[in-house]
Amino acid sequence: MRRLRVTIGLLSLGLLVAGCTERALLEVDPETAPGQTTPTEEIEIPIEGLLSWRDTTYMGYVLPASSNYRVVVDSVDEQSRLLGRIETIPDSIDTPTGQEAIEGYSNGRFRLIVDTTISHVPIQGMDLEIYSLTRRYDKQQTTWTLAETDVPWTTPGGDLGERIASLTIDAPFDSTVSDTVFVPFVVSTDSVLSAWRATGGEPGFAIRVSGATAFVQVSSVALLFDVKPEQQDTLIAAARSPAGSTVIFDPETPDPGQTSRLAGLPSSRIYLDFELPDTWQGLQLKGSMINAASLVFRPGPPAPIPFLLEFPLEITAFQLLADPFVVGPKTPIGATLGPTVLLDPDTITEDDAELVLSITPYVLAWSLGPVDSLTVLRVGVQALPEGRDPGFWQFGSAEDVQELRPTVRLLVTPRVPFRNP
């Protein structure tokens, strides 16, 4: 028995020593390294090399009414006006003695808060005018030429009626004093507000400037007025913000045509889908490690004024959860596929400039997923902030010339073959 214990002990010791010995790794020169390996290759697949590719531009994700773009312009290249409605002109008011009916309105004026750092008053000064409209408009559908869908303005830019408020502003803006501009009524406040009270603010008003190169960035608009309660001699100040406000501009944002467009107002996105081949030029893609994958877009020329992109945008690509060519612009969106990329209008015009958007996790899921679990890759591209201003940038699409068409760029490490042990 003792010998058996000794035997087992010796065997265990030997196996333990053997098992604990660690092999050291040789550090070798990459040029002469032994063993089986596989190269990491960068490839660029033109859309003709894909099994399929479809792309399109959808517009309207942010409309003028829902954007923060509130600019009143009068220039050769662009005209724009703000439209609004004061829907809640009061017919009674709370006083220390109780709620009193309103007998009349007076001292009306619009208060505009202006971004004086970017607004521009021409040397000869400008008139800031507010007109009542003679035709109602639909907030979501109105444009420079249309009051609503299929209903054109009699006069493009809005059917202007009576001028109800006006202010002449001399150059330059004295921003050191105030960025608040009061535009007083030039007609009877009581008659205008009584009419608006009766119609719920319809058909509304338009704010315009006149004076070449006048440009006013408006941060907010409010109507200030005094009310006189019945049976009282005192006036009570009141204020209302416009509802249904929007901006219309000329020229209107053109249709993207055959190009791919990002940003603008209404804002545009690029939606696309494509199918990668399992192999490309002999290189196995399906089943390989996709270290990086990008969609590459080639920029077109700058858009004309007023659609020239002035400020950088953050561009992001995201997964689409349904077929965008069936569901349309409202295709549900999924996860963001990569970091945002800066679209800088100052550098995108350089030679060979590209917009490169990472879609690595999506392509990796295609590569390493079960066969046929994911065949069509659907991607959306948008610019952030979306709908900031009419400025946009366009890129080559599948229907453009070869040099402008998008491509898929991959960094691929195929499987190690491990052919022969």
Partner 1 sequence: MRRPVSTQRPRFVRPSVVRAPGLAGLLLLMVAPALVGQMPTTALGLGYPVPPLDARAAAMGGTGLGLLGGSLSSRNPADLRGFRRPTLGLTYAPEAIGVESSGGSQTTGRSRLAIVQAAVPIRSWTFGLGFTSGLDMDWGVVLQDTLQSSFGTFPYDERRENDGGVSMVTLTAVREVGRFSVGIDGSILTGSLRQTFIRTFEPSLEDPTVDIGVATGEARFSFSGFRIRGGAVTQLGSRVRLSGVVGWASDLKADRDTLSPEAAELDFSMPFEWAIGGSAQITSSLLGTAALGYSGWSTTNEDLNSSSSANVFWYGLGLEYIGFSVFGAGLPLRAGVRRTDLPFFLVGTEQLVETAATFGVGLEVGGGLASFDLAVELGTRGDLATSLVQESFRRLSISMSLFQL
237-266: which residues touch partner 1 (CB under 8 A)? 255-258
Instruction: Work out whether 372 is an interface residue with partner 1 (CB under 8 A).
Output: no
Part in contact with partner 1 (CB under 8 A); list of ranges 36-44, 96-104, 132-140, 188-196 = 36-44
Q: Given the complex with partner 1, which of 125 and 339 has the nearer CB atom?
A: 339
Shortest gap between Cβ of 367 and partner 1 (angstroms)?
Answer: 12
**Does residue number 98 form part of the binding site for partner 1 (CB under 8 A)?**
no
Which CB atom, from 51 or from 195, has the smaller least distance to partner 1? 51
Q: What is the DSSP letter of 213?
A: T
Kindly state whether residue 354 participates in binding partner 1, applying the rule CB under 8 A: yes
DSSP for 257-314 reads TTSEEEETTTTEEEEEEEE--SEETTEE-TTSEEEEEEEEE-B-PPPPTTSB--S-EE
Decide whether 52 or 154 has the Cβ nearer to partner 1.
52
Q: In the bound complex, what is the minimum distance in angstroms from residue 63's beta carbon to partner 1?
A: 14
- Map the footprint of partner 1 across residues 4-33, applying CB under 8 A: 4, 6-7, 10-11, 14-15, 17-18, 21-33
What distance in Å separates the CA atoms of residue 73 and residue 70, rounded to the nearest whole number?
Answer: 10
Looking at residues 41 to 70 of the shown chain, list those that interact with partner 1 (rule: CB under 8 A): 41-60
**Exposure b/e, 296-328, CB count within 10 A at least 16 = b:** bbbbbebbeebbebeeebebbbbbbeeebeeee
> Which of 66, 241, 291, 340: binder of partner 1 (CB under 8 A)?
291
Q: Which is nearer to partner 1, 346 or 352 (CB)?
A: 352
Q: Is residue 294 part of the contact set for partner 1 (CB under 8 A)?
A: yes
At its nearest, how many Å lie between partner 1 and the CB of residue 373?
16
Show contacts with partner 1 in window 311-340 (CB under 8 A): 324-325, 329, 339
Give 268's strand partners: 59, 263
Minimum distance between the CB of residue 416 and partner 1, rounded to whole angstroms? 3
- Which of 215, 395 has the CB closer to partner 1? 395
Pick the binder of partner 1 from 61, 235, 280, 322 (CB under 8 A): 280
Token pair in block for residue 379: 């991607």
Place of tokens 């065997």: 11
Stretch that binds partner 1, among 99-107, 158-166, 226-234, 286-294 (CB under 8 A): 286-294
Helix (H/G/I), strand (E/B), else coil: 125: coil
Minimum distance from residue 52 beta carbon to partner 1 (Å): 5
Rg (CA), the chain: 33
How many chain residues touch partner 1 (CB under 8 A)?
85
The Cα–Cα gap between 196 and 88 comes to 8
Among 97, 99, 373, 402, binds partner 1 (CB under 8 A): 402
Scanning residues 143 to 182, which ones bind partner 1 (CB under 8 A)?
A: none
Contact 67, 268 (CB under 8 A): no
CB of 135 to partner 1, least distance (A): 26
Contact 209, 119 (CB under 8 A): no
Candidates 116, 142, 245, 397; binder of partner 1 (CB under 8 A) is 397
Going by C-alpha positions, the residue among 101, 92, 80, 164 that lies closest to residue 129 is 164
Q: Which residues neighbour 38 within 8 Å (Cβ) at sequence distance 6 or greater?
A: 413, 414, 415, 416, 417
Structural contact between residues 316 and 380, judged by C-beta atoms closer than 8 angstroms: no
In this structure, are strands 151-152 and 260-263 parallel, antiparallel, or unpaired?
A: unpaired
CA–CA distance, 43 with 39 (Å, rounded to integer): 12
Residue 370 contacts partner 1 per CB under 8 A: no
